[in-house]
Every structure is written in structure tokens, then in C-alpha cells.
Amino acid sequence: MIIDIKDDFDLEKIMNSGQAFRIAKVGNYYRFIHGSEIIYIRNIEGPTYEILGGAFEDYFDMGRNYTKIRGLAAGDSFLKSAVECGRGIRILRQDPFETMISFIISQRKSIPSIKACVEGIARKYGKPIKTEFETVYRFPTPAELAKATEDELRELKTGYRAPYILDAVRRVNSGELDLKKISLLEDAELIEALKTVNGIGDKVANCIGLFAYGRTGLAPVDTWIRKIMDNYYGGENPFVKYGDAAGIMQQYAFFYAVSTKLKL
């Protein structure tokens, strides 16, 4: 499929924005994995892209105008710089189970280490999918990951997070945490439901809400965001005033700090 994308859309920035850990360059394409869907995208010229695969519009939040959202930062000098730096980022709508496990793993780990852990779990427990370019391993389902032992997960460098992963798997498989049903909850209730899993606190729950459930009013506070709040906003959270765009503004700020190695 060949389409023109006239709103903000930068594949390199999306790949490096820290919200998904299995995006990769494959030749001239960027490869995205969404459950059993494999999406390959390449820029042809200007706003014209070739897209191979499905689930494109929902996955890339194409129903939202990010150009308009960037304009909301006009009165904030820090965020104005951040949105210009991050122009082209979009919030991905990812698989809830993979997102939950990925962000449990993400705690106190570098992005390369997170990527290695998530990829290792996919290769060991997930099913292979052959495409015209490569063989990709889908992330395991809750039932597939239930076969994992704590020792096996530790061998994959998950460390102290291994029992948290197994608790999440157990709760999902038992129906105690229904990842589809909680999508109907309000933001605060969704966060509390996710936090019933051992090892999921406010930050991880907000990441899951933002990156899997499309709750763009949620703005996760990690180490980088806390430093931004302390250094530029007197310890106050500057994102909440943006309402449903709070999480998008947070993502611009995070990308700006990390990509420019902002001294905080």
C-alpha cells in the first residue's frame, strides 16, 4: 500500500522514542511487531510511504492530529524545544500483554538491555513468523509464557524481575487480571488494576496505560521526567494541564532529554 501521511510521522524517532523495544531497521524498511501482525514501512519520498502489513492506522494513532498538539506548547519554552526535537513521534497502540511484560523488565535497565531481554523471551517462547524479509518471533501469549520457569527467565537477564513476570503471567492466565476487560475502566481504575501485579508501580502502570491502552492523558514519571520537573518546573508536573495530550507532551520531553543528552 502506498499512502501520503501529511501529519507528523518520523519512523526513526518513533523507533528511538523508548515506547517499544522490538522495532528494527530491515533494509530500507522499519519493522514493527504488533501481536501476530508484522508491519514494514519505508519512506519513498516526502510524505509518501509504502506500508506492508495491516493494523496501521490504529497502531500509529493516525486519527489524532499531532501537528495541532505540538502547537499547545507555544507558551512553554522548554516544551517548545522538546516538541520541535520530537516532531514526528506518535504514540503506538501496542499489545497489552507484551507491553506489560516489557515495562516490568524496563525497571532500572538501559534500553539496549531491555531490548535484549524482550527479544530473548520472544525467541525462546514465541512462535516464528516468516516474512519475505526475515523470520520474526512474535511475543509469547500468556499461555506460552506460562511454560517459563524463574531460572529460565533469569538466564535471559531479567534478574529480580523474573518473579514479577511470572506473577503477571499467572494473574492473566487465571483471569484475575483480564487485559481486555480492564480496557473499559477509567484511567485511575485501569492504573489500580495493573498495580495488582507484583512489581508494577505507578510509573510502569502509566506506561502500560499510555502505550498499550492509548490513554494519552497519562504521563509516566521516570528518572528523566523527574529531573525535568525538578530543573525546569520547580518540582511540579507540567504535563497534567495538557489533559488528553499530557502523555504525548511527556513523550516529547523524554525524547528530547534522552536524544540530546540534556544535562539535568
- Catalytic annotation on 124? no
Integer Cα distance of 11 and 1 in angstroms: 17
The values of phi and psi at residue 136, to 5°, are: -115, 140
Cell numbers that stand for 66 in this block: 499531532
Q: What type of residue is 205?
A: A
Q: Considering Cα of 107, then 31, then 36, then 210, what sign does the dihedral take?
A: positive
Asked if residue 173 lies in contact with residue 146, where contact means CB atoms within 8 angstroms, the answer is yes
Cell numbers at 260, concatenated? 540530546
- Identify whether the C-beta of residue 246 lies closer than 8 Å to the C-beta of residue 217: yes
The single residue of 80, 157, 203, 227 carrying the catalytic annotation is: 203
Q: Cite the active site residues.
A: 203
